[in-house]
Copies of this chain bind each other. A is one copy, B any other.
């Protein structure tokens, strides 16, 4: 059984969209990634994170029930869990951050459990590049694939650390604006070329409702997003994508371009569920039958017979 190591935040979120608002609910990149990856059988998933003593047992129970090993989630006895609050505008493409309380995240030193130090696939969720690197450095051997997610914030304040880390990763997943910022190029084709030169041999550019582009050795794969009647809450869509992407890769034996293409489709498939309800509600309850049915929708969506 392949091992998938996830390093990422476990958090409380409070979300406001045109459809309503939530109290403090379960959130965090690591949470979405883990729940999404839990849809793949025969993958041993370990999550490395940090929470405070305000983090309820029921959330641990949910993760464990989904087969996610939580041994690597440090509980800080006198600390509070990372809290983020945001509000989405009408068109859902823009959001304002209302509150960011780093709390225990401010002093997060990831400790990878011994069992996951030989993980085949490593997913580095959005964190300071030096924290991501600290996790990566603890591994006993080079994983088959290291996937990095990051954001514009780290490009603004820790670009050199990010560039150092990029040399060690196989895949980067970022959105279109971030790809443009990181590369200094508007054209995504040119941007991907420059990012390849920074290290990652696979560049995944996420375009939200417009799908995702995968770049590898001069080849391009374009995956659609499933057109939805309503996006209820986009929070965690990118992380759910990353969980589907790495969960699928962990389940496969070969890591060819064709396999990575399929991983992009699986990431897109699972992300399409997350946005249907607030927070992790939908991805935590989705059934195998539902994800397989939607996979057929993805095939129908792009298939043509020329």
Scan A151-174; emit 1 where CB is below 8 A from any B CB, else 0. 000000000000000000000000
Asked if A186 is at the interface (CB within 8 A of a chain B CB), the reply is yes
Contact residue range for chain A? 35 or more
Cross-chain contact of A227 among B188, B230, B299 (Cβ < 8 A): B188
Whether a CB of chain B sits under 8 angstroms from the CB of A222 is yes
| Of the residues B210, B219, B261, B300, contact of A304 by C-beta under 8 Å | B261
Distance from A204 Cβ to chain B, minimum over Cβ atoms (Å): 13
Check: A305 CB closer than 8 A to any chain B CB.
yes
Minimum CB–CB distance from A275 to chain B (whole Å) comes to: 12
Chain A positions 262-306 with a Cβ under 8 Å from a chain B Cβ: 262, 265-266, 295, 298-302, 304-306
Residues of A75-113 whose CB lies within 8 A of B:
90-91
Residues from chain B with Cβ under 8 Å of A91 in the complex: 186
Contacts of A41 in B (CB 8 A): none
Q: Is A25 part of the contact surface with B, judged by Cβ < 8 Å?
A: no
Verify if A238 is at the interface (C-beta below 8 Å from B). Answer: no
Say yes or no for A46: interface residue by CB 8 A criterion: no
- CB of B227 within 8 A of CB of A222, answer yes
A210-B207, A221-B301, A302-B302 known; A187+B265 contact, CB < 8 A: no
Q: Which residue of chain B has its CB nearest to the CB of A304?
A: B261
Report yes or no: A301 in contact with B222, Cβ–Cβ below 8 A. yes
- The residue in chain B whose Cβ has the minimal distance to the Cβ of A305 is B258
Contacts A227-B220, A228-B189, A230-B187 given; does A295 touch B301 at CB 8 Å: no
15 contacts between A and B (CB under 8 A): A187-B229, A188-B227, A189-B229, A190-B229, A210-B211, A213-B227, A221-B301, A221-B302, A221-B304, A224-B224, A258-B305, A262-B305, A265-B304, A265-B306, A266-B306
Write the residues of chain A forming the contact surface with B, with a CB cutoff of 8 angstroms. 90-91, 186-190, 207, 210-211, 213, 219-224, 227-231, 258, 261-262, 265-266, 295, 298-302, 304-306
Known A258-B304, A302-B302; 8 more pairs at CB < 8 Å: A210-B211, A219-B300, A221-B302, A224-B224, A261-B304, A261-B305, A262-B305, A302-B304
